[in-house]
């Protein structure tokens, strides 16, 4: 199979498919952390038939569009804090992020273009966020702890011509409970202590157990 892993800098999913003998390529705006088949630049210049898929087009695309403007956790940065309680059409942009609304609309459009790309089989993954209402509900929501990891991270999958991903090894997830009673995934709390750039990469890498399941269940 010709497999395109869109918006992947880690090479984790790409390498799991290559292990099975597929022609898998990752693509991102930055270089890959792992050496291998990687395309740097705008994903849409590689969507159609080209030399990387032997002129045959892609059989499968797994896409990881940026979630910065698609998650619900960033909602507080859309509007001016002094306008809380006012109707939405009367609120001013947040002074720190005056263009956040425009960035959100661009992110939604990017997501939809990936989901509707002219490729037979597609998986688009993203955390729980606004695409359930701005696009459609995901086909399934998975957790790393269903694939052998102790981490908890709800991940939505929008699928085209692909079966639901089956759990491979369910383990007990690890959480941190604060004095307030609030509970968060331990790995997510630990990542918060890292520098911003490193923290972002930690939170965006695909868990190897999930990558293995994708390759073994969708690549055979």
> Hey, what domains does the chain have and what are their CATH numbers?
2-74+107-218 (3.40.50.150)
pTM for the full predicted model: 0.90
Helix (H, G, I), strand (E, B) or coil at 52: helix
pLDDT digits (tens, 9 = 90+) for 17-43: 999 999 999 999 999 999 999 999 999
> What is the percent of the chain where pLDDT is above 90?
73
Q: Are 9 and 66 in contact (CB under 8 A)?
A: no
Q: In the chain, which ranges are E strands?
A: 2-6, 23-28, 38-40, 60-63, 121-127, 140-142, 155-160, 175-177, 183-185
- Name the band, by pLDDT with cuts 50, 70 and 90, for residue 92: confident
Helix (H, G, I), strand (E, B) or coil at 4: strand
Residue 10 phi/psi, 5-degree rounding, is -85, -30
Calculate Rg over the CA atoms of the chain.
Answer: 19
pLDDT of 75 over the 80 cut: no
Q: What is the dihedral of CA 151, 201, 64, 153, to 10 degrees?
A: 20
pLDDT of 77 over the 80 cut: no
pLDDT of 102 over the 90 cut: no
Average pLDDT, the chain: 93
Q: Are 158 and 136 in contact (CB under 8 A)?
A: yes
Query: Of the ranges 32-41, 50-59, 79-88, 138-147, which one carries the lowest mean pLDDT score?
Result: 79-88
Helix (H, G, I), strand (E, B) or coil at 132: helix
Answer with the residue of higher pLDDT: 206 or 68: 206
């Amino acid at each position: 199979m010709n497999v395109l892993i869109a918006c992947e800098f880690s090479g984790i999913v790409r390498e799991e498919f290559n292990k099975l003998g597929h022609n898998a390529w990752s693509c991102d705006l930055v270089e890959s952390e792992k050496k291998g088949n990687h395309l740097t630049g705008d994903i849409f210049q590689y969507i159609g038939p080209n030399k990387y898929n032997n002129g045959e087009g892609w059989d499968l695309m797994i896409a990881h569009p940026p979630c910065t403007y698609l998650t619900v956790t960033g909602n507080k940065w859309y509007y001016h804090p002094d306008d809380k309680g006012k109707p939405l059409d009367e609120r001013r942009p947040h002074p720190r992020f005056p263009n956040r609304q425009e960035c959100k609309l661009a992110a939604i459009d990017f997501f939809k273009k990936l989901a509707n790309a002219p490729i037979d089989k597609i998986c688009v993954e993203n955390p729980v966020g606004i695409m359930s209402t701005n696009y459609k509900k995901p086909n399934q929501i998975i957790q790393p702890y269903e694939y052998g990891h102790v981490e908890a991270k709800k991940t939505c999958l929008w699928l085209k011509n692909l079966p639901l991903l089956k759990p491979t090894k369910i383990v007990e997830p690890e959480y941190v409970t604060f004095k307030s009673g609030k509970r968060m995934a331990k790995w997510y709390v630990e990542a918060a202590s890292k520098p911003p750039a490193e923290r972002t990469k930690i939170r965006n890498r695909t868990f190897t157990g999930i990558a293995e399941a994708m390759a073994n269940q969708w690549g055979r």
